Copies of this chain bind each other. A is one copy, B any other.
């Protein structure tokens, strides 16, 4: 076990993308070293730090200090927290802030925050002067294990979520696991759903390890750093195989088809459901549906449900507070999300823990009956 705090040495995951390869550094207290790490890779840069109000209050002074000690001059652009910030309006604001600071193409744009800030900032960094240097300092668990890795960036439009953006790989990701101490417990737990997801996709040993060690992941011991590092490695492996999402990368959507339908059905009202909660229920449903299709055993589905319940995540549709629409309506949300060809849907299904696969011909009728049974 090599976990910072224990040994003072961060874990390093390499995202292998040829010339665009980069490091993800993971460890407690890493923000203090952000300046040195950035200066070592991007000598002589100036930087704009983009963040949101919540994160700025807790972590902006530490990051600014660290950069300034390494001789990196910064300006900060602080935006309102929340999903609504992923808009054209705020994109324009970030672009203008970066240009207003007279940063050049070889300077850096740094995202300090959760997935919202990371997605928006990466997009801005990808388009100002047709691409500047981009650094991620993710501060939510979801951002550390998922959104900061892999180079997808973007914003929402009235036509849908994440429909506009670029692939923009960062030059460096600095995941300070200590920043998660100021994250709300609910947001932490939601991010944990994505951690468990990597075990369920293709790392059965990791899932078993999580069953044994999740408490320490939550409390912030070395197991937290370890869980984040394994998650980053898992995502990095998929991304290296399929950077532009033309194939295998779809595996990362395990639990997301059902999950997105539930998010849509609750009108993206975070009081009722946040993304990771939807994913948790979605993963449980994907396993149960796979069992129903005789692909996996019911035991495995129950094992998934048990773990999600243990950590305090919702795992069945009745866990969503308030009314849900009927099965037909949910199926419509699913069909909007996925391309439907002649009544067949694409889903990530599984043959058991850690044995997920892309299933391209799932009959919509089977999904409908399954939803009916599970809404009872």
- A residues near B, CB below 8 A? 88, 92, 95-96, 99-100, 104, 123, 126-131, 152, 154, 157-160, 163-167, 244, 339
Q: Within the assembled complex, what's the spacing in Å between the Cα atoms of A123 and B164?
A: 11
Q: A131-B166, A131-B244 are in contact. List 4 more A-B contacts (CB 8 A).
A: A99-B157, A129-B163, A130-B165, A130-B244
Which residues of B are found within 8 Å of A99, using beta-carbon distances? 157, 159-160, 163
Cβ contacts under 8 Å, A164 to chain B: 95, 127-130
For the complex formed by this chain, how many copies does it contain in all?
Answer: 2
The residue on B at minimum CB distance from A155 is: B127
User: Can you spell out 13 A-B residue pairs with CB atoms less than 8 angstroms apart?
Assistant: A96-B158, A99-B159, A99-B160, A99-B163, A104-B339, A126-B166, A127-B154, A127-B164, A128-B163, A129-B164, A130-B152, A130-B164, A131-B166
In the complex, how many angstroms separate the beta carbon of A137 from the nearest chain B beta carbon? Answer: 23
A167 neighbours in B (Cβ, 8 Å): 130-131
- A157 touches which of B95, B157, B158 (Cβ 8 Å): B95
CA distance A152 to B157 in the complex (A): 25
Q: Are A166 and B163 in contact (CB-based, < 8 A)? A: no
CA distance A92 to B155 in the complex (A): 12
Docked complex Cα distance between A163 and B166 (Å): 16
Instruction: Closest B residue to A160 by CB, please name it.
Output: B99
Count chain B CB atoms within 10 A of each CB in A104, A130, A160, A163 and give the residue with the most. Answer: A130
- Contact in complex: A159, B126 (CB < 8 Å): no
A123 CB to closest chain B CB, in angstroms?
8
Cα–Cα distance between A88 and B93 once the two chains are bound (Å): 11
Q: Which residues of B contact A126 (CB under 8 A)?
A: 166
**In the complex, which residues of chain B have a beta carbon less than 8 angstroms from the beta carbon of A104?**
339
Q: Closest residue of chain B to A102, judged by CB?
A: B159
- How distant is the Cα of A92 from the Cα of B164 in the complex, in angstroms? 10
A297 to chain B, nearest CB (A): 36
Q: How far is the CA of A164 from the CA of B95 in the complex (A)?
A: 8
- Shortest beta-carbon distance from A231 to chain B in Å: 23
Q: Which of B92, B123, B131, B244 contacts A88 (CB under 8 A)?
A: B92
A123–B130 alpha-carbon span in the complex (Å): 10
Contacts of A88 in B (CB 8 A): 88, 92
**A158 closest partner in B (C-beta):** B96
